[in-house]
Structures are given as C-alpha cells and as structure tokens.
Structure 1
C-alpha cells in the first residue's frame, strides 16, 4: 500500500509539471475535492514553462515518457484507440518513439554471454557500442560466422532487469486503474481493459523470439515484393533476451535532405510504401503496424527496408474484404455500394436504413472529390467513416482501429517523401487487382475446395458414418412397413453423396 501511495504521488507530481492535472480536473465530478488533494500532493512542483506551447496530447506523451517504460507502452497502445481518447490526443501520442539512454556495452556483453553460456567472441565478433536504445531493448551491430561467411548483423538485447521493472509498474497500474473504475468519469475509458491489453502487448515484447517469428512471417509474405525488404532472422542466435537479424544498409526515411543529395528516388519510395502497406493488410492480412520514419530505410532504387517488428496487425478475411471494397467504393464514388457492404457484412444494425447510411457516406466522400491530392487523406476518411458508423450502432474491431492508425502514419511518411502523392491513384490498381483475384471464379472454386476438404476432415470413418446414418434413417422411418426399397436407396444416396463430395474436391484441386 505504501509503495502504491508513492507511485500515485510520483504520477501526480509529474502530471502537475506537465499541466495534465488541469485536464483531468475538467472531467471530474467532485472538482473541489480533487483540486485540494492534488494540490497538496504536488506542493513544491511548478508547471514546466517550456511545455506551455505544446498541445495537450504532446504534454501527456512527454509525461508518460518520464514515468517509465510501461507508461510509454501504455501511451503507444492508447494512440491506436482514437475511439476512446479522441483523434487529436491519439495523434499526439504517436510522438512516443521510445528513446532512452543506452546501457553500457559491457553490460550487453554479459547478457550475451549469460544467454549463450559462452564468451562473446564465440557468438559475435566486432560487437559495437549501442547504436539505438529504447525502453525495452537496445541495438548493437556485430558480425557472425554464417556457414564460413562473415556476415554483418544487428543484435537487439533486452534491458537488464526489464521484466522485473515492467512487472512492478504493471502491478501498480492495475491498482491505479481499479481505483479509477470507481469513478463514473473514467467508465468510457475502460482503464482496466486498456491495462489488460497493454500487459498482453508487453508480454510479447519481453520475449524477442516472438518478434523474430513476426519478422520471419512478414519476410515470407513479402519475399516476392521486390520493393519491400524484411531482414533475415538468424534463428541460431535467438533467445528470449536476444534477437539477431541481418544488418540492412540504407538511408533513414526521415533524412530527406540526405536522400535528395544522393539522388534517391523518394517519390518512388512514397508509392512503394502505400502499395506495400495495402498488400500486407489486404492481400496477406498481416501488416507492420509501426511504420514510422524511424523504422524505415531507403535504398537507391526507391525500395523500402523495414526494422522493428514488435507491433504487428492482423486482419481476417472478412475485414480484408471490407477494407478493400470500402476503399474501392470511395475511389468509384459508389456510396450505396459501401453501405451495402456494411449491411451484408452485418456491420450495421438491420434496423438502420441503407439509404440513410449511404447518404451519410456521401457527406464524407463528396467534399474530397475536387480537392488536390495532397489535401486528401485516406486515414482521415476512415476516421470520419468510423465516427459515422458509431451513429449507426456499428461495432468496430480493434484490428480496424490499429489499421486506421497505421494508415495515417503511412500516409504521413509518404507525404513527407512526396507531398503531392495521391493515395487514391496509387491504391486503385492494387485494390482492383486484389478484388479481381478475390472475386474471380478460380478463387471461388478454391474456397469451395477448402470448404469441401474441411467437411471431409470432420467426417468420421466412412463405413462407420454410413452405419450410423443407416441407423438414424431406421429410427426416422420406423413403423413404415414397406421400407425395403428405401433402405437400398438410402445407402446408395449416402455413398453417392460421399463420392460426389470427394470428386468435387479432387477436380477443384486440379484447376
């Protein structure tokens, strides 16, 4: 309890310095009591004048950064939920880039030696000083012997004692959110559910084998997409605390002047970024959900090189189709189509009028038709769409909200590379190709094959199945004196049905 009190005291004093107590106080019912308590607990703390020109969201982000790694991760998670905190604060929280001072090279070496049970020179050579540091881990460059070939690698190492630190902070955050749940003012924020989700996210980040698996899956999905490169994972150099990947060579996407000085095709890179994001999200249903400039590098051909696979998004087939058809509907200005898609997918209440929903969608699409490309944002269109769907009693899945947040980030990076880029024009060929493939006869047959194969896998042994079906039929027709022909016919019917299903599956598999 004493530790929890000092934890709360620390939060209040940091929030006072960042002028966040005032924001919270605006929404508290018993404002006088709140003000008295917080002022008493923050005696001696003055507001940081350097922050006075910052927006509310930016000040919140800076306060979370000061509070520790769990708060940083919490802020990053909240930034993907504009439905809870609003679009402005969600956008401002996206500045949380997780930059912290590094721990020493000597400590990193001790961690490597402990994990692999041998000396550093038997695992890595030319092990560098830290080149990047975040709240959970930091990165070093090194070399490994890869089948007799000296290979440059990037080595990510968890911070010492980070698991213990995170566990303590999360325990205190759970106590705090349980306390907050007692006040109606915080009900809409659902603080307990946010902390629960944060714990799930951080659990994966504290085991670098999960990030290795994420990178490996994304690399497998994109290996034929020449314009997007995921570095190779070296599994023999992976542990829970250490991730070893191929070192990439490129210029960071935020170094615009350097890219121009070296004649990099940054306009092509901007197009590649949008195209590859759409491929990952719509074609594969598995996308890099943290594509800010710090995680992207460019090569001379305009190709993208990605790093940091700690935050990934996944979309099921239904949501992928939903996203593709919505984007295509806006491209074609077919608002009734978009409304029908929502209705057929069961995303709007049946009591709602499709025509009214179509009209609401038109209010989003029409204002952007004649605007310049640089003023049109698909991410903002999705924000407006989600706002409208709320009015029509539509429930949005968290995956779509993460996708929306990533799309805004992707658009922002693309526009910094090419301010005149037209998201719609770049998207259209990719969307049309996917819809053509997805709705084409070959894919329909493939889906039918998968369904039939699923049925076949679930069927019991055929003789046993026929015997049981025969017994069931006997019960149904019991009392019918003249059922001999039926007995014969039903067996032929059962066997014939089995043969038909098997034959269909075989034929379709050959197409």
Structure 2
C-alpha cells in the first residue's frame, strides 16, 4: 500500500506541473495534447518545460532532487533548456533533530557523545538530502583537543532510497516503451547510474577513503587543502574529519577584501582539476561552489579547501592518454586527429568516414575559436559536440560522464572568479607537458623500474648457465649437454630478442618524441 500511495502521489505531482504534456507531445498526435489540456484546475502549465520538470522534482523530495542533479550531467541525452534548468537544483532539506544525530553517533561508537567530544554543537552547520554536519571538539588520547566536523547520515535513508529507486525504475521502463525519444534518452541506464552514485554516497567510510586518497595525491601541490580523516571515528553512517576554516568561494567580494589574488585563484582551480585528472586519474567530481572554500589563514592563505567527497571519478591510463590527445588536438584545431581518435577508440562505428566526422567537429568548434579567447566557452563547445554526436551514433562512455560534469563546474567556477579566464590557454601547457612526459625518457625509466622485480630472479641465473655451457663445450656432447645446449639456444634467442627489442623500443620512443615535439610546437 505504501508503494501504491507513493506512486499515486508522484503521478499527481507530475500532472500538476503538466509533465503529461511532454509525454503526449512525443506521440505527435495533437488531439491527445488537446485532451490533456482540458483539465486545468490546480495545474501549473505556464512555465517553460525545464522549469516545470525542476519544480516537479523539488516537490517529490530529496531523492528526486538528487536524481535531477545526476540527470543534469547527461547533456548528451537532454535538450539544452532542460539540462540548464536541472543544473539549478539544490538540496533544500531541513535538518533532522540533533537528538537523533547524537543517538546515531552513540550507537555507532558505543560511547556517550560526552565521552568522545569535549564539545558537540547541537545545531547542524549544514544539511543536505543524504547527511548533515555538526561541528565538535574531539578528545584525543594524547590530551590534545582537535576541532572536527562530524557528518551524520540521515536516518532511514536506505529504505527510502530503495523504495523510490524501485519507482524510478518502473517509470523509466514506461518512458522507454512510450516512444523512440524515450528510448534515445536511455532512462533505465540513467537510473542505474543514479543508483550507483547514490549508494556510494550512503557509505561514509567509502567517502572517507576517497578523501584520504585525494589528500595524499595533493600533498605536493600547495594549492588545495583536504581534511584529515579520524579513522577511529569513521563508520558507514558517521564520519569525523578535521574541521576546515575558510570563506565560501562564492563570496568573491569578501575574498578580494581579504587580499586573495582572484585571477590566480581561478588559474589554480584549473591546475588542480587537470592535475587530478591527468596525473592521478582520481578526481573530486562534485566541485560546485557549495563544496569549495578558500583559506584566509596566514599559513595557508589563498589555498582551495575541498569538501564533500561522496562522488569521485576515476580514469584508466588509456582514458587519460585518449583525453589528453583529444584536448591537444582541439587546442591545435586538428579536427582530423579528433575524428581519427574517436574511430580508433571505438566511440563511433568503424564504418564512419573520417572526413565527414572531421567536418562535423570543425563546424562545432571553429565558430568559437574565431572569437576572442576570453569569450570561449568549453561548456558551450561540449554541449554542441553532444548534439552532433547523436548523428554519428557516438557511444557515451560512462567513465567520462563525471569528468564532463566536473569540467563544466570548473569552467563556471573559474569564470565566476575571473570573467577573463582563458581555460584553453591555462590548460594547454599542462597537457603538452603531460603528453611529453608520457613518451619521454622519464616514462621509460619509470616503466623499467616497475618491471624490474619480475626480472630480478632471472638475472642471477644467467652467469651459471653461461659457465655450465662453456665448461661442457670441450667435452663430448652428452644427453645432458645436448639438452643444456637446446636450453641455451632458447636463452640466447630470448636475450637477443630482449636486446634488439629494447634497442628498437628506445629508438621508437625517441622518434615518437621528436614527432610529437614537431606537431605540438
């Protein structure tokens, strides 16, 4: 009965905001649309469709708001007006009672709050659809007291999420079966993607481990601060971390008054993003202004502070190399190479003609490159590319969806800080240096260092084999010697292959490096 009532409520809200019109429009039967518009009492049909969809999701509660946020990242699937409106969705969720939060903490650690903390602030400092955060002062065995932030998962979320996900899967099946447009939107795949992200966010130990990994990765880059995790106090539903003190990055006037170099801050944001993506292949994928602050403390003045690590993205070495080559080709306006990369990677059918795809990519990018650099928008270029991709049946790669979303966030954040920010110009030197490092001598030495343990056991045996061969070469060829000679021939062939292969590999690397330097510069 609960599912029936919840389903009825969802249908009523959708009818209230006229979402039935959007479904009936896809059938291309005007009489159905006129029939739907007969009933107007209590319905809000004047607003644009994107706004109505956003208001529907906000009315349905935090899970649907979260779904809309994830859906807004799939600009490859959505019309522009709907994607832009969904990007405005924010978690506007009232906090749950502090007594309930304290009960969750005491149950998780089997201790009273007063035994864990010197001070625990009852009023939460932040509240979202998944969790809320309280400030506290942690007792430590050493006698030191550390200021911390305590993140507590909203109670009963797993049951609520699973019930709403069941309904979303059912609705996705309806949308997919209603029309061809419904199939193109791939609603069931989107719901599955949402399911994964949401369940990842529900495990605070997973979030803490992601934060710890980013903290290690960024330790040598004096541009960003990431809170320390207190592992003795991290559970799936409670997480205790270092309290970070900073100014929200959206308060630009306050940062400027404090003496922060705003243009440098914008450039640093681009550097942090590209370092996480291309150097580490592990990046913070929820970098909207609400999760970023700037330190104005003397020791860390002007550094970014990253918060909320529920969503992180990962890339393989193949992904990183492919993306770097694509970006470099874009920067050089080598549209033919972009088309070739799409075909080589299997993103488009192998039968696609390179010249046709090249012409399509050129028609998207060239109008923007002809504008002054400060007017270029990577977000606009990506949006146009997504629209063009449908014509060539481009397969959207799931591992790159978060990257696309984060790249748009970074550009929007950078332009908010510095309207003259040139994302392309800032990123190009980084990418070119990264590409050279991938095929240069340093990369070769790193690979040899990584492979050396495999051959460490083989090398000590080579002198003995050579000595036995020389000692037995003057004697008559016994069966043992013949067997040894046969084994030695195999060894010689292996050594020759390794030697000549290594020489060829080094020469090939040098040739590739010269070729890349010529093409890049």
Equivalences for 1:336-351 in 2 at 5 Å?
336-351=336-351
CA distance in 2, matches of 1:59, 1:419: 31
Specify the alignment match of 2:391 in structure 1: 391
Structure 2: unaligned runs, 5 residues or longer: 462-478, 506-521
Match of 1:73 among 62, 66, 78: 66
Are positions 1:14 and 2:10 aligned together? no
8 A contact 2:281–2:320 mirrored in 1:
yes
Specify the alignment match of 2:170 in structure 1: 175
Residue 418 of structure 1: CA displacement? 0.6
Specify the alignment match of 1:320 in structure 2: 320
8 A contact 1:80–1:90 mirrored in 2:
yes
Pairwise CA RMSD: 3.4
8 A contact 1:13–1:45 mirrored in 2:
no
Specify the alignment match of 2:474 in structure 1: none
TM-score, structure 2 as length reference: 0.82
Residue 375 of structure 1: CA displacement? 1.9
Secondary structure of the residue aligned to 1:7 is helix
Residue 88 of structure 1: CA displacement? 3.2
Deviation digits for residues 131-156 of structure 1 (CA, Å, limit 9, x no counterpart) = 11111111111111343221111111
Equivalences for 1:327-406 in 2 at 5 Å?
327-406=327-406
Secondary structure of the residue aligned to 2:89 is coil
CA distance in 1, matches of 2:412, 2:58: 23
8 A contact 2:230–2:242 mirrored in 1:
yes
CA distance in 2, matches of 1:35, 1:234: 60
8 A contact 1:268–1:302 mirrored in 2:
no
Specify the alignment match of 1:119 in structure 2: 112
Seen in structure 2, the aligned counterparts of structure 1 residues 455 and 392 have a Cα distance that, compared at 3 Å, is farther
Are positions 1:225 and 2:218 aligned together? no
8 A contact 2:20–2:36 mirrored in 1:
no
Specify the alignment match of 1:261 in structure 2: 257
Are positions 1:153 and 2:148 aligned together? yes
Specify the alignment match of 1:47 in structure 2: 44
Specify the alignment match of 1:164 in structure 2: 159
Specify the alignment match of 2:519 in structure 1: none
CA distance in 1, matches of 2:231, 2:499: 42
8 A contact 2:26–2:179 mirrored in 1:
no
Secondary structure of the residue aligned to 1:277 is helix
Equivalent pairs, count: 480
8 A contact 1:449–1:504 mirrored in 2:
no
Secondary structure of the residue aligned to 1:245 is strand
CA distance in 1, matches of 2:482, 2:38: 87
Specify the alignment match of 2:421 in structure 1: 421
8 A contact 2:343–2:352 mirrored in 1:
no
8 A contact 2:75–2:386 mirrored in 1:
no
TM-score, structure 1 as length reference: 0.84
